[in-house]
Amino acid sequence: MRARKWMTAGLIAATAGLVLAGCGGGGGSKSSATTASSAASNAGGPVTLSLTTTDFKFTPTTLTATAGKPVTVTVKNNGQAEHNFSISSLKVDKDIEKGASQTVTFTPAASGAVQFFCKYHKDSYGMVGSLSVT
């Protein structure tokens, strides 16, 4: 029960962070959110998530999705280097030039933890994150 309360608090905080980041107007401030989740309003349809890359990390580092439901991730590269968003098990591999955004859509088939990563900086900088599929 205690874990459920922490998870609920985390989801509320992540949702609030995403809402505030969306209203930010690009004034140069950076979101410190480490988790993003689908909003309850997306329960019946595809999930849309946002991810930012910088040199050399993802923000947030954890994304949440539901098995069998389409997930669309928009990745914005705020770094000075080209980055990449890859999920080997889902055959996702998308390059993102510096200053650009790219969108990928995939459907996770089974629940569990799935690693996403930048294929250019995974080994050298540990640029990885986790997709938690429920």
CA 76 to CA 102: how far, in whole Å? 7
pTM as predicted: 0.69
Predicted confidence at residue 31, as pLDDT, reads 38
The domains found in the chain, sorted by start residue, are 2-133 (2.60.40.420)
**How far is Cα 11 from Cα 94, in angstroms, rounded to an integer?**
27
So what's the pLDDT on residue 44? 61
Query: What would the pLDDT profile of 37-94 be if each residue is shown by its tens digit?
Result: 433 334 567 899 999 999 899 999 999 999 999 999 999 999 999 999 999 999 999 9
Any residues with CB less than 8 A from the CB of 132 and at least 6 apart, and which?
62, 63, 64, 65, 113
